[in-house]
Amino acid sequence: MKRIAILGSTGSVGTQTLDVIAHHPERFTVEGIAGGTNLPLLIEQAKRFKPRKVSVSTKALADELRLHISEAEVLYGEAGLTEIAAGTDADFVVTAVVGSQGLRPTLAAIDAGKQIGLANKETLVSAGHIVTDLARKRGVKLLPIDSEHSAIFQCLNGESHERIRKITLTASGGSFRDRTRDELQHVTVQDALKHPNWSMGAKITIDSASMVNKGLEVIEAHWLFGLPYDRIDVLIHPESIVHSFVEFTDHSIIAQMGNPDMRVPIQYALTYPDRLETPSKPLDLTETGKLVFRKMDFERFPCLRMAYDSGRAGGTMPTVYNAANEVAVSRFLNGDIGFLQIEHVIEQVLSQHAAVAAPDLESIMAADQWARTAASRM
Ligand SMILES: NC(=O)C1=CN([C@@H]2O[C@H](COP(=O)(O)OP(=O)(O)OC[C@H]3O[C@@H](n4cnc5c(N)ncnc54)[C@H](OP(=O)(O)O)[C@@H]3O)[C@@H](O)[C@H]2O)C=CC1
Ligand SMILES: CC(=O)[C@@H](O)[C@H](O)COP(=O)(O)O
Ligand SMILES: [Mn+2]
């Protein structure tokens, strides 16, 4: 039995993780779940999966939750999230909260020696060296849940890292992939939230449309696979069938394919190195017919160029890229700024930042906070 704790159990990745667990009750128990504000769903999950600890974002919500569930200890806030990450009997923690608020709880889980199923990419972008160093020291595996990174991880199974020529992350192009920059002037939040292939939380769906998601994924890949940025490529693949691929020194390419369904990478992280049945639809390539791949256009998607630049600059630059984007996306979702202003905010905040090299956690937190304040004023 693998004992699981989930940070962000009420979200898109969180609910799909519980779906995977529900299909294999003989394999998994749920020790702890943490959600934000979706109380009805958290109550339903607590009753069904019977974790010993449950956490919500505020004290008021925790008080209300206690009226509905008596079997579990109810916690709240950052302390509650950290307790679900590090203070349960779980041996495996799925990090599926959104944003760099996942950083401290993830570090706590690693410090406590829990294996990590990593969905929360912002954590690795914000503090990649700190997270990977601690994982190395504690002997903790960071098992990728992000579909592209799971794909690369599967392609690399048994291969020597010295034989990798480059890896290529595929990008669907997001909700506006066929629109020109001029046409982006007046797009709405509703338009932006219509991802062509994946059903995901609001923040990552906007990130897909701006290509920030792929930027975050490039930096995530740098830390997960220890590759320099000039050996991490991105291309547009509108079908999201090839989830990513590796080219080796002999020019062989190994790709991982499947219908777009997050339950596959989630389950692989949970069962690695084993594989189990899933309820996902099998891929029939004769039905797919044609797969399209296009070169990335960095003029059309400047947020990807800024991610490469931030990653290469290192230090606190990726922290600031991520935090500025988090604020810009939240402002876009609230109707405060237009879609194209997301990239403007990121660019301006990056240009004003005096980077700190080899930052410790305190400097990372300070840079994150500085970027949030700057981005909210722009
Ligand atoms: N969705 C996907 O297919 C993929 C997602 N990812 C990554 O996974 C992460 C999660 O994405 P996704 O599932 O789409 O996001 P969602 O917005 O769907 O879910 C976010 C989760 O975080 C919870 N949460 C938010 N704030 C807090 C808080 N302060 N304390 C505790 N919990 C909190 C939410 O709770 P509540 O809803 O109750 O408020 C919810 O459970 C992101 O980093 C994303 O980039 C990566 C690859 C694919
Ligand atoms: C499912 C997943 O891993 C997402 O990160 C997905 O990749 C988003 O799609 P695009 O960023 O390619 O549009
Ligand atoms: Mn992805």
Percent of the chain with pLDDT over 70: 100
> Annotated binding residues for 1-deoxy-D-xylulose 5-phosphate, as ranges?
121, 147-148, 172, 195, 208, 213-214, 217
Residue 244 CB less than 6 A away from ligand 2: no
| CA distance linking residue 82 with residue 57, whole number of Å | 12
Count other Cβ atoms within 10 Å, centred on residue 358.
Answer: 9
- How many A from CA of 128 to the centre of ligand 3? 17
Could you report the per-residue pLDDT of 279-337, keeping only the tens digit for each? 999 999 999 999 999 999 999 999 999 999 999 999 999 999 999 999 999 999 999 99
Residue 172: the pLDDT is 98
Could you report the per-residue pLDDT of 139-150, keeping only the tens digit for each? 999 999 999 999
Ligand 2 atom nearest the C-alpha of 260 is 1
pLDDT band at 158 (very low <50, low <70, confident <90, very high): confident
Which residues, at least 6 apart from 6, have a Cβ–Cβ distance to it below 8 Å?
A: 14, 17, 18, 30, 32, 33, 34, 84, 93, 94, 96
Given the DSSP bridges, would you call strands 53-56 and 232-236 parallel, antiparallel or unpaired?
unpaired
Q: Domain ranges in the chain?
A: 2-144, 149-313
Domain 2-144 in CATH 3.40.50.720? The answer is yes
| Side-chain-facing half-sphere of 210: CA atoms under 13 Å | 31
Task: Of 319, 318, 340, 313, give the one whose Cα is nearest residue 329.
Answer: 340
Residue 297: the pLDDT is 96
Eight-class DSSP state of 334: T
Task: Of 300, 86, 272, 68, give the one whose Cα is nearest residue 183.
Answer: 300
> Cα 272 to the chain's mean position, in Å?
19
Percent of the chain with pLDDT over 90: 99
pLDDT of 194 > 90? The answer is yes
Q: How far is CA 307 from CA 186, 213, 217, 318, 325, in A?
A: 24, 10, 9, 7, 11
